[in-house]
Structure 1
Amino acid sequence: MASFAAMNARLFLLLFCLASGIASPPLRAETRWYAIHLGKDHIGHMQRSRSEVDGAIETRSELVLILQRNGERLPVESAEWTRESADGEPLAFSSRFATTGTLAAVEARVEAGTVTARIEQGGQRSEKRFPWPEGAVLNEGQRRAMKPLLDGETVRSDVLAFDPASLNALPLSSARLAMETVELEGGPAQLLRIRQVHGPAGAGVRSELWVDPETGDARQMRLPALGLELLLRACSRECATAPPVAADVLASTLLRAPRAISQRERQRPLYFSLRAGDLALTPLGGIPGQRLGQADAAGVARLRIDPEGAADQPPTDADLAPARWLQSDDPEVRAMAESAVGRSRSAARRMYRLQEAVRRHIEHKSLRVGYASAAEVIELREGDCTEHAVLLAALARAQGIPARVVTGLAYAPGYAGRQDVFVPHAWVMAWIDDRWKGYDAALPAFGAAHIGLAMGDGEPFDFYSGLELLGRLELVEVSTRKAGGGP
């Protein structure tokens, strides 16, 4: 069974984005070091600095960590730089994110309200021009917006935070809580606790910061991650860069099934009774073919999944367009698609042949690749479920078939010594015969035991919705019959 390796990399890209929005050290050329812990394991470090250069404010951040999935090690490196005027107006920025087998980099300038970005993705270089999102801010703008909250003049701060890695602007809401004593490397410190929600309404990722209100210096940050707790804590360089432990991030994301689910059952609609503590299950209702009912007093909601998909949510032009991870206009992607479909005419037949072509093309099924784009997968011929999904979606779009990448959980009778579990996974939804239908090039077949959490163009920030649910879901019951109050 393929594993969802990409979510690990995406999660820490998200962490990096969140950490870029926190208050910074005082204005001098100083670097703050942070140790990164996942659960009990020290998995890496982040360093961050803010300084004045030629009258502008420059902020730099670098993150290095190492993960492990079922014995395979995955190094992750990310770097970000922003340049802003003293009053927080954006001037330029850059971002670099690398894991095994993939590199995504952006260099951009902002002039007269227009962003000109040079993008490197999948070995390709391109340029993109677009208006700066109205009201969006980078690091210095976020720091200035946080000042009234730190000073106690307000209890809430809302900004539109621009992320250089994804070229997206997302809401960032911060709430002032209380002063608390926090144990740090140099001893206890009195810090202001701030709760943040970063992302779209109803699907944001929650985190907490502990900030020195006098300097605006964030000393600790915490957020849920893959069923564990991710913690950044300020400390010395020696402490932060101590040899990391390659934490196994897959085990905590597995969802136990209360019973075995037969292949025959997976070919028909299934009903899942789910709960996730204090988290909303709303993202589950946003995937075609999935209908979510109301939660009961115990927080349990029934989810109906139809393996035949659904005819609602018709595709848009974006579902046919090339994207950073789905380079459907790449000559090699187009050539592979043409070769795979041959003389097939119907969309259903072409999609089937594309699925089989992806299965054959990715010769080495492994967790070693971090998160490759479609163009990179063609060259690598290696990867797990995410590589299968992005390549299949790009091939479909190259053939004029609307397609989206879905991430979530898929049932496995056995995985990594566990029986009857749902494993993080990725697959494709394609618009065939006037309805969305599921295709899974990494597994023998798509079925009702695919629980989708998020959907998009295969880009990391498409998967905000549902991110917190990984490792937090509980599956209470699986049934083939509709119950009273079910969807």
Structure 2
Amino acid sequence: MRRLWLGLAFTLALVGGPSRGAEPAETTAWFTLYAEEGEKVGRIIETVTVRPDGREIVDEQEITVREQGAPVTRIVQTNTRREDAQGRTVFLSLYSLVGREWTRIEATIRDGRAVIVRRTASGHHQSIVPLPPAVRFDAGEGLLAGWDPAATPSLEFDNFNLDFMVVEHVAITPATGAPPTAAPTANGGMSVLRSRYEGGSLQGVSRLTLDARRDIVAVVLPRFGTSLTVRITDRATALAPYEPYRVLPKTMTKSPFRIPPGALQGHIRYRFTFQDGLEFPLPQTGEQKAVLSGGAAVVDICETCGPGLPTDPAYLADALKPTAWLQSDHPKVRAIAARVINLKVSDTRRMQMLVEAVVPRLGRIDFTGHFSAVDALNRHAGDCTEAAVILAAAARAAGIPAKVVNGLVYSRERYHGVSNAFLPHSWVLAYVDGHWKSFDAALLTFDSSHIALTVGDGEARSLAASGQLASLLDWRDLAEVRARP
């Protein structure tokens, strides 16, 4: 049920920074992070060091969060990019610290590819990402000064995103209606939308406010129910104290209707339109059918409403593989699966038993960070996202194809001070007994308020995309569908 911090590194890569040319040996830029209501919630310090063999750009980001009944957690993230004397990026690293839990991602750029190693206290995972010839590593910062929107309405390029370990296609286009959180622009300034795509699918959007020189004044990063704004400030403002940020209540959005318990167990039809004209398809799960028509999405959710995910052998085989987030080959995960593998019961029953086995593994509820299945088991803590990755990994270890779903769910009762609201949520889709079915290890039950927005392997980018896509939905209608007598 979080993570506002995900994707912020990509946003900051496009916030100003010293330009090339006659640079001093070291320069420092200061940024302040604001919540939607204007309160300061964090700081960013960017240092650029110029050396004879190139330069190094380091962004240090800090925010503290506190949820109801929980201690304050400090989240720190350091992003480093090194360039050679010709200005070519040769190395990137990202070090994040959530309380005492650390993650380090390093990428060496050579021979048209990124060799990536992701390390946590539980181990490491290596991957290789092929890079397009014209790929960028600065999120397009070097392109803005020469951009003429009249001649090129859409500024497009490929960018390597280390936080998510993928190459994304980025489009920057003029926007209408700047949000109230955007800083005022100077004469000739403009507001633009930056949209990120992977494989043709929209992953996220943010709004940049540019001045007349195409320098960035502010970046607004929307999330479901809230947003964060990064602004260039002075040293004193950035270093001034700030209060811990309560994420969860701000990411809960009041439902337009109070949904009765009976309807939650039946068939609900939702109708959405899209902000800024950024239309995107919603997933088709075993319980969810989504149809786009006339700039709107009609979403039907019930036990048998959806066509389900693909069932071809290649897709099912992929849904059985261990990944960096779903370590189904790890002994701790295999130990959970071992208790159900040889039982003479249906796959549906096996999944129900795995849900029962996962619940006590988390122990302490913790809403900060996003952790893999093994990291969550070692921490013995987490929330719905950790419950989902552990369950999906255990299902794969038991030979059951499984995917992690990120989306929204309805809370009728008061939760963290808010009732009758939708909030971010994660659960699992498993291929059992010939069809795809949802299982929820956090709420222990699936109902028709589970709105799927992304389906993946528990990776950070799928979770982050869900929060951003949810912010683009305009709720138009919600109705219970009943069969005629």
TM surpasses 0.5 = yes
Spell out the pairing of 1:258-407 with structure 2 (5 A cutoff): 258-262=257-261, 264-275=262-273, 277-278=275-276, 280=278, 282-294=280-292, 301-308=297-304, 310-314=307-311, 315-339=315-339, 341=341, 343-344=343-344, 346-364=346-364, 366-407=365-406
Q: Cα distance, 1:114 vs. partner? A: 3.3
Of 178, 186, 194, the residue aligned with 1:197 is 194
Cα pair 2:182 2:220 within 8 Å, conserved = no
Range with greater deviation from structure 2 (443-452 or 143-152): 143-152
Which secondary structure does the structure 1 equivalent of 2:163 belong to?
coil
Spell out the pairing of 1:436-447 with structure 2 (5 A cutoff): 436-447=436-447
Q: Cα distance, 1:31 vs. partner? A: 1.2
Of 51, 54, 73, the residue aligned with 2:52 is 54
Q: Distance in 1 between matches of 2:426 and 2:354?
A: 16
Aligned AA for 2:387?
H
**Structure 1 counterpart of 2:18:** 25
1:466–1:119 CA distance, 2 compared to 1 (3 A): closer
Q: Distance in 1 between matches of 2:269 and 2:243?
A: 40
**Structure 2 counterpart of 1:105:** 104
Cα pair 2:64 2:73 within 8 Å, conserved = yes
Q: Distance in 1 between matches of 2:465 and 2:444?
A: 27
Q: Cα distance, 1:152 vs. partner? A: 8.6
Cα pair 1:310 1:437 within 8 Å, conserved = no
Structure 1, unmatched stretches of 5+, are none
Q: RMSD between aligned alpha carbons?
A: 3.3
1:184–1:163 CA distance, 2 compared to 1 (3 A): closer
1:412–1:177 CA distance, 2 compared to 1 (3 A): closer
Per-residue CA deviation, residues 321-342 of structure 1 (Å, 9 max, x unaligned), is 2222211122211122213556
Aligned AA for 1:112?
D
Q: Cα distance, 1:439 vs. partner? A: 0.3
1:53–1:243 CA distance, 2 compared to 1 (3 A): same
Aligned AA for 2:298?
R
Q: Work out which structure has the larger RCO, using CA pairs closer than 8 Å and 6 or more positions apart in sequence.
A: 1
**Structure 2 counterpart of 1:93:** 92
Q: Cα distance, 1:358 vs. partner? A: 0.4
Spell out the pairing of 1:247-266 with structure 2 (5 A cutoff): 247-257=245-255, 258-262=257-261, 264-266=262-264
Which secondary structure does the structure 2 equivalent of 1:443 belong to?
coil
Aligned AA for 1:120?
R
**Structure 2 counterpart of 1:242:** 240
Alignment coverage as a number of residue pairs: 467
Q: Cα distance, 1:343 vs. partner? A: 2.9
Range with greater deviation from structure 2 (234-243 or 107-116): 107-116
Seq. identity, %: 25
Per-residue CA deviation, residues 7-65 of structure 1 (Å, 9 max, x unaligned), is 22xx3221221221344213332111101001122100111233332332322111111
1:368–1:277 CA distance, 2 compared to 1 (3 A): closer
Cα pair 1:21 1:138 within 8 Å, conserved = no
Which secondary structure does the structure 1 equivalent of 2:282 belong to?
helix
Cα pair 1:344 1:350 within 8 Å, conserved = no
**Structure 2 counterpart of 1:228:** 226
Cα pair 1:101 1:370 within 8 Å, conserved = no
Cα pair 1:36 1:42 within 8 Å, conserved = yes
Cα pair 1:55 1:86 within 8 Å, conserved = yes
Aligned AA for 1:270?
I
Q: Cα distance, 1:403 vs. partner? A: 1.2
1:105–1:112 CA distance, 2 compared to 1 (3 A): same
Q: Cα distance, 1:376 vs. partner? A: 1.5
**Structure 1 counterpart of 2:130:** 131
Aligned AA for 2:166?
N
1:252–1:126 CA distance, 2 compared to 1 (3 A): closer
Cα pair 2:355 2:444 within 8 Å, conserved = no
Aligned AA for 1:305?
I
Cα pair 1:330 1:375 within 8 Å, conserved = yes
**Structure 2 counterpart of 1:36:** 33
Q: Distance in 1 between matches of 2:360 and 2:341?
A: 14
**Structure 1 counterpart of 2:468:** 468
Cα pair 1:121 1:373 within 8 Å, conserved = no
Per-residue CA deviation, residues 305-325 of structure 1 (Å, 9 max, x unaligned), is 132454442334432222222
Aligned AA for 1:33?
W
Q: Cα distance, 1:122 vs. partner? A: 5.1
Q: Distance in 1 between matches of 2:28 and 2:246?
A: 30
Per-residue CA deviation, residues 341-396 of structure 1 (Å, 9 max, x unaligned), is 563454223222111100122222x2354222110121222221111111101111
Per-residue CA deviation, residues 197-249 of structure 1 (Å, 9 max, x unaligned), is 232256243323344665x7533222323333421111122201211222333
1:84–1:196 CA distance, 2 compared to 1 (3 A): farther
**1:45 to 2:38 alignment:** no
Q: Distance in 1 between matches of 2:392 and 2:248?
A: 25
Cα pair 2:6 2:464 within 8 Å, conserved = no
Range with greater deviation from structure 2 (49-58 or 351-360): 49-58
Q: Distance in 1 between matches of 2:297 and 2:44?
A: 39
1:419–1:107 CA distance, 2 compared to 1 (3 A): closer
Aligned AA for 1:349?
R
Aligned AA for 1:106?
I
Q: Cα distance, 1:285 vs. partner? A: 4.1
Aligned AA for 1:328?
S
Cα pair 2:284 2:309 within 8 Å, conserved = no
1:473–1:252 CA distance, 2 compared to 1 (3 A): farther
Q: Distance in 2 between matches of 1:117 and 1:270?
A: 43
TM-score computed with the length of structure 2 as normaliser: 0.85
Q: Distance in 2 between matches of 1:470 and 1:455?
A: 14
Cα pair 1:268 1:448 within 8 Å, conserved = yes
Q: Distance in 1 between matches of 2:403 and 2:421?
A: 25
**Structure 2 counterpart of 1:78:** 77
Structure 2, unmatched stretches of 5+, are none
Which secondary structure does the structure 2 equivalent of 1:415 belong to?
coil
